[in-house]
Structure formats: structure tokens, C-alpha cells
Amino acid sequence: MPTVLKMDGPVVVFGGGRVGLRKVEYVSSFTKDILVVAEDSLPMPDHVKLRKATLTTQDVPDFIPENATLVVGALSDQKMNQAIADFCRDCGILVNVVDDPESSTVLFPALSNEGRLSVAVSTSGRCPFLARKIREEIDTWLPEKARWLEVLGPIREKLVGTEEKNRVLSSIYSDPDVTRMVIEDDLEGAKRRAWEVYDVRCESESDP
């Protein structure tokens, strides 16, 4: 089931190779509290804590804090990855094992980010290549939709709890002037026009 995970605790990545680094870069979009455990490691971003160690299956619990939000098994040793997954499932910790969706309780979707707007595409592990290709298509229109978020977000906050919320937002989204300014990347003009539509709609909603 697709969901959004709030990162309250650290993320532990087992593996410091190319795959481990890719997972670190992915997770870094959401948290900087990352620990990499590896015998050897490629250079990691400055915010990453690196613990070099020779791992055995018995040592796995020693490297996973009780408050860990997520654990990633990105080792070339599948036996070790399986031991990591088994421990995490027993402890109720979310785990992702690279190239092994059956052992994972969390799958990493292909992700497009633009400002505060994120779109995730998942094939449930069946074909990550296709997910990446779809993400590339999303990347072409995501900047425009991210501008819409900047226009609509503050107005939606103003309307929380009101019955007319969606009607007002729909009026703004369909307004030709706002649409033109968003497309032309005139963000400030689009915001001004959006508030004008908001004022008109709210006045009409309040009329007896």
C-alpha cells in the first residue's frame, strides 16, 4: 500500500558500495540522520555517519538502534541481507532489501521531486526500469505542478475546515489568468490573481 513515511528516527544502510550510496542519496531527500555500516565504503555525503565493521549475522542487532525508522540491506552478501531483514521484521522495524521485494516491508518507488511536491511511482518491485521511465515523463511536467502547489497551498490552509474549500480551490485552478501565469512561471502574479478569485468566491459563498 503506497504511503508517506515520517522520518522520526535514524535510517541505517548496510553497505557502502554503489548500491548503498544510491540508497543514501535517495533517503537524503527526506532525512539527514543516516548511518552507513560497511566493511569498506565509497565516499559518502558529509551528513552521513559511517561505521566501518566486518559484519556477521550475529552482529546485526548491534548496529540497529531501537528508534530506527528504516533499515536498508544493500550488501552483496544475500545471506547477510536476509539476516538483516529477519531481525527487522521480528522487531517491527521497516526494512528494504535491495532487489528482494519479498524480504522487504518497504519498497523504494521511483521518485520525482520539485520543491515540496513529490510524486512516487512503484511497480511493486516487478520492473523498476519501467518505474524510472514513467518518472522521467513526470519530470517534464512536475515543475509546473509545483508552482500550482505554491499558489494553492496557502489558500487551502486558509480554508481548512470550511465547506467551500474545494469549490474555491477548483475556481482558482480553472481560472484562465491564474493558469496562464503559472505556465509562464509568473508565480507572484499567479498568487495575486488567486487571492482575487478567493475573495470573490468567499464573498459569493457568504451572500444570503
- pLDDT at residue 162 in the model: 87
Nearest residue to 52 (alpha-carbon basis) of 105, 93, 16, 101? 16
Element (H, E) at 169: helix 165-173
Per-residue pLDDT of 114-126, as tens digits, reads: 988 989 898 887 8
Say yes or no to pLDDT of 191 above 70: yes
Mean pLDDT, the chain, rounded, equals 92
Say yes or no to pLDDT of 207 above 60: no
- Most confidently modeled range among 4-13, 68-77, 102-111, 112-121: 68-77
Q: Is the pTM of this model over 0.75?
A: no
Q: How confident is the model at residue 167 (pLDDT cuts 50, 70, 90)?
A: very high
Residues near 38 by Cβ (< 8 Å), separated by ≥ 6?
Answer: 14, 15, 16, 17, 20, 50, 51, 52, 53, 75
Say yes or no to pLDDT of 29 above 90: no
Mean pLDDT confidence for 5-25: 94
Say yes or no to pLDDT of 112 above 60: yes
Please give the residue that has the higher pLDDT: either 108 or 63: 63
Mean pLDDT confidence for 190-196: 96
Q: In the numeric block, which cell numbers belong to residue 73?
A: 540491506
Angle between helices 176-183 and 187-206 (to 10 degrees): 160
Q: How confident is the model at residue 201 (pLDDT cuts 50, 70, 90)?
A: confident
- pLDDT at residue 200 in the model: 86
Residue type, 154: P
Other Cβ atoms less than 10 A from the Cβ of 205: the count is: 12
Q: How confident is the model at residue 14 (pLDDT cuts 50, 70, 90)?
A: very high
